[in-house]
A = this chain, B = another copy of it.
Amino acid sequence: MSFNLVKTYNGGKARVGELVTPHGTVPTPVFLPVGSQATVKTLTPQEVSDIGYGMLLTNTYHLCLKPGIDVIEGFGGLHRFMGWDGAILTDSGGYQIFSLAGLRQISDEGVTFRSHIDGSKRFITPELAIDFQEALGADVIMVLDECPPIDADFNKVWRAMSRTHLWAERCQKAHRHDNQMLFAIIQGGVFLELRHQSAEYLTSLGFPGYAIGGLSLGEPKKVTWSVTEETITLLPEDKPRYLMGVGSPEDIVEAVAMGIDMFDSALPTRVARNGALYTRTGRINIDNGEYKKKEEPVDSDCGCYTCQNFSAAYLHHLFNCKELLALRLATIHNLTFISDLMGDIRKSVLNDTFGSFKEDFLKHYKPTDEEVRLEQKKKWLQARNADN
């Protein structure tokens, strides 16, 4: 288990590396598809692998509720349970406990919360978070953190950060398995002073990787980037840097330029299921009437299974009929787009052409309007919480 920095772009901070895990070597920068419930929605593990992914993310919180850690432990871990031979990162559940679960009671000892599924009372501590993740057997596991809402005030964020530090230390002590890397999560909200404190404290403990948590929660992008950029300056060169919950194609390109190595987000798969498909010029909505008779694929330059085999008109028809195949084909397309993007990024860093690649990509790719984006994010968070 190690991270090898292969090359830093000679015109900036973008870098290429490799994360060596018991389930394969993963080239970075890497995007992890999200399979919270031990499945990347709509796809088989084989399809995820065929698209080009060697690592994915699953979620301790979700798996703890269903099917239960004991069931997966009975299979010797997640890899066998879900039939995935590649690398896995498990999130500790911190983010979900603070955003999804109900009735939280938090103390330094741990958190009592209610399952968003059946309301049952659960308790988790840093030590239990490690126990669970050891039983799940992921290649990279995360500390339990407290993730305050993005509009929390300085004092609240400071308390959450301090507790996150305490818990990180306890996670580190509880962690036994040599074949799992335990990453720390830097908190501190939108306050640069706290991000400094968090990065300094956690790096002093010495983890094999560092995540930046508590961002992409609805704050303006300007804030996301200033916090990310500032935090990275305090992270060691030789350890992987993971920006949690990002994201969109344009955000990935920006964050790579700042020196981020790892990403995860449900965005590409979630918007796919809503009919929003990535192209080099931006997202298109396949529901749009202009695709009703289009014989060409969604993106003529795309080599994905969907674009190689089906017309835009057929996809339009499937979405129009709410056919389940629509969701699969759109997911394959969007995950291929992101996988190809990561490949292009790595190539351009290795060739020292990342600067012009980034400029060219951002010139052609029209991102979703910021206002629309924040509105969508809000709606999605509300809809998700209403499901509880």
Contact for A67 among B43, B317, B328, B329, CB less than 8 A: B317
Chain A positions 278 through 322: 1 when the CB is less than 8 Å from some CB of chain B, otherwise 0: 000000000000001101000000000000011101101110110
Asked if A220 lies at the interface with its beta carbon under 8 angstroms from chain B, I say: no
Asked if residues A324 and B66 are in contact (CB atoms below 8 Å), the reply is no
Asked if A103 lies at the interface with its beta carbon under 8 angstroms from chain B, I say: no
A127 to B55 CA separation, bound complex (whole angstroms): 56
> How many copies of the shown chain assemble into the complex?
2
Asked if A81 lies at the interface with its beta carbon under 8 angstroms from chain B, I say: yes
Q: Which residues of B contact A82 (CB under 8 A)?
A: 314
Asked if residues A321 and B42 are in contact (CB atoms below 8 Å), the reply is no
Asked if A44 lies at the interface with its beta carbon under 8 angstroms from chain B, I say: yes
User: Which of A33-41, A134-142, A378-386 binds B?
Assistant: A33-41
A230 to B314 CA separation, bound complex (whole angstroms): 43
A321 to B39 CA separation, bound complex (whole angstroms): 10
Contact for A42 among B293, B313, B325, CB less than 8 A: B325
Asked if A71 lies at the interface with its beta carbon under 8 angstroms from chain B, I say: yes
Name which of A39, A46, A310, A320 has the most chain B CB atoms within 10 A of its CB: A39
A42-B325, A71-B317 known; 17 new pairs, CB 8 Å cut-off, are A37-B317, A37-B318, A38-B317, A39-B325, A41-B323, A43-B325, A44-B328, A44-B329, A67-B316, A67-B317, A71-B293, A74-B313, A81-B311, A82-B314, A83-B314, A324-B327, A328-B328
4 closest A-B pairs by beta carbon, nearest first, are A67-B317, A42-B324, A37-B321, A39-B325
